[in-house]
Amino acid sequence: MDHDTLKFTYDIWKIRLQLTKPVTWPPLVWGVVCGAAASGNFHWSLEDVAKAIVCMVMSGPCLTGYTQTLNDWYDREIDAINEPYRPIPSGAISENEVITQIWVLLLAGLGLAGLLDAWAGHTFPIVLSCCRWIPPFIYIQLLL
């Protein structure tokens, strides 16, 4: 690979990360830590620490990144007027790449939720989480 290709690859990943707004992840990660500590069932075993880390990745980068990217996607027309330098309205990332990122983050988050659910030994919460995000998604599609 030549220098320009490497620079473009680096830049597109930097833009993708920017869309997920990492500054919004810490409150969710702390929520996981505090919730685990408050549960009374958390022990510093490898299994409990692994579950907490998976939950942190699910809640921070995956699902918060998903909602932040989705929010930027739906705000793209307003941002084109008020903040034209942002990645989507400036054209720094294509519409197809944004939509792909939205789906990858959502499916990764739901996949991790399913993993945690199976790890816990039950199936109801994943059904509940799907019921939580599907109706707003359909509602937004009806508005468009």
Quick one: tokens of 43?
A: 């022990």
Q: What is the 3-state secondary structure (H, E, C) of 77-112?
A: HHHHHHCCCCHHHHCCCCHHHHHHHHHHHHHHHHHH
CA torsion sign, 91 to 94 to 95 to 97? negative
- Note the pLDDT of residue 21: 94
Distance in angstroms between the alpha carbons of the first and the last residue of the chain: 42
Q: What is the pLDDT of residues 54-111, one digit of tens each?
A: 999 999 999 999 999 999 999 999 999 999 999 999 999 999 999 999 999 999 999 9
What average pLDDT does the segment 15-27 reach?
93
